[in-house]
């Protein structure tokens, strides 16, 4: 006959009042958790109603024919088939957006980086210079677009009048020319973007680089560019990755600048993907096809972001990952 060996109670369980203390602690934690949920419940409700709900609804509508004034009709993948194989403007606007991204993102990042380098130096009135660089980014996008419409006006604009007075020739039609419309928007984008929050992020990253490394490099005889390449860029690579991801996301969603200045013209020269989505959903009222276009853009942005994060392991340096 075997006897069952009972497990002796732990030391804490033998203490008087331990179970009661645990019970009180559990009740306190439940009460704190309930209070926490109550505090964030307005945000949760707002997120469900204004973000998650419309997001899921648009995913459903992307598989329907939904001309807004009638009930949606399920059509499966027909909207995506139309975009890929029947809509010529879909590919044209995608190409314009891709060209915009591969132009403005590198130029903007390089410009913001060197602006941050200049403003990180120990010079007089450094704070004033930082304010001057940052001021254009505070201009609302619509206001900046209208301002540059006046500046680039072919007949009475400041740019063409200056070119005629100083160099004796008339400038191009800028925003009214199919050849110059996209470069004009790139100039406007760089004017507002170089000194933006992207520059401040670079500036914060530069201030985290130890001065001792620069001093050691100078002792070893490295020049200015070698210090930038071998000291600055590796140490601010996480900052560079952040600006790269945010820059690509913003570039692929370009809309307001072209909408105000050119409306996508002339001759579709600035007809970006966001404009095509807007025209489809809010002017043609084809909400089903517009939802499909929106989800395609979301998928492209998500995939590109994941690729960048995956590839960043090869070139981004994190001090916490360094081994002794």
Band (pLDDT 50/70/90 cuts) for residue 320 is: low
Give the model confidence (pLDDT) of 282-312 as tens digits: 999 999 999 999 999 999 999 999 999 999 9
The residue among 127 and 289 whose pLDDT is bigger is 289
3-class state of residue 52 by DSSP: helix
Count of Cβ atoms closer than 10 Å to residue 284 Cβ: 13
Q: How far is CA 238 from the centre of its chain?
A: 15
DSSP 64: E
- Taking residues 167-193, report their average pLDDT: 92
| DSSP of 215-283 | HHHHHTT--HHHHIIIIIHHHTHHHHHHHHHHHHHHHHT--HHHHHHTTT-STTTT--HHHHHHIIIII
| 64, β-bridge pairs | 74
- Could you tell me the sign of the dihedral formed by the alpha carbons of 144, 150, 154, 158, in that order? negative
For residue 17, pLDDT over 60 is answered with no
- For residue 221, the model assigns a pLDDT of 85
- For residue 260, the model assigns a pLDDT of 94
Give the model confidence (pLDDT) of 44-78 as tens digits: 999 999 999 999 999 999 999 999 888 999 999 99
Tell me how far apart the alpha carbons of residues 288 and 307 are, in angstroms, rounded to a whole number. Answer: 29
85-89, 98-102, 169-173: the lowest-pLDDT one: 169-173
| Domain 87-318: CATH superfamily, name plus number | MetI-like (1.10.3720.10)
- For residue 222, the model assigns a pLDDT of 85
And the tokens for 107? 């130029």
Count of Cβ atoms closer than 10 Å to residue 157 Cβ: 18
pTM for the predicted model, two decimal places: 0.85
For residue 11, pLDDT over 50 is answered with no
């Amino acid at each position: 006959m075997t006897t069952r060996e009972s497990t002796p109670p732990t030391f804490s369980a033998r203490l008087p009042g331990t179970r009661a203390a645990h019970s009180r602690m559990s009740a306190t934690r439940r009460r704190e958790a309930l209070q926490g949920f109550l505090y964030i419940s307005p945000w949760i409700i707002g997120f469900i109603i204004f973000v998650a709900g419309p997001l899921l609804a648009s995913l459903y509508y992307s598989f329907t024919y939904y001309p807004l004034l009638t009930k949606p009709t399920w059509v499966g993948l027909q909207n995506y088939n139309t975009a890929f194989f029947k809509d010529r403007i879909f590919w044209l606007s995608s190409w314009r957006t891709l060209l915009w991204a591969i132009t403005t993102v590198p130029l903007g990042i390089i410009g913001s980086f060197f602006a941050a380098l200049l403003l990180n130096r120990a010079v007089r009135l450094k704070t004033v210079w930082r304010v001057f660089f940052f001021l254009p980014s505070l201009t609302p996008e619509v206001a900046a677009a209208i301002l540059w419409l006046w500046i680039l006006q072919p007949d009475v604009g400041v740019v063409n009048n200056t070119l005629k007075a100083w160099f004796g020739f008339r400038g191009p039609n800028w925003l009214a020319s199919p050849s110059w419309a996209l470069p004009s928007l790139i100039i406007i984008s760089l004017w507002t973007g170089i000194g933006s929050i992207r520059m401040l992020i670079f500036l914060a990253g530069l201030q985290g680089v130890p001065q001792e490394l620069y001093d050691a490099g100078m002792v070893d005889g490295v020049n200015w560019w070698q210090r930038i390449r071998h000291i600055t860029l590796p140490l601010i690579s996480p900052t560079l990755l952040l600006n790269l991801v945010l820059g690509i996301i913003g570039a692929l969603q370009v809309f307001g600048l072209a909408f105000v200045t050119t409306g996508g013209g002339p001759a579709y020269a600035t007809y970006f993907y966001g404009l095509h989505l807007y025209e489809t959903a809010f002017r043609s009222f084809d909400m089903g096809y517009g939802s499909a276009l929106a989800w395609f853009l979301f998928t492209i942005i998500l995939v590109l972001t994941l690729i960048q994060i995956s590839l960043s392991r090869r070139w981004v340096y994190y001090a916490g990952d360094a081994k002794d």
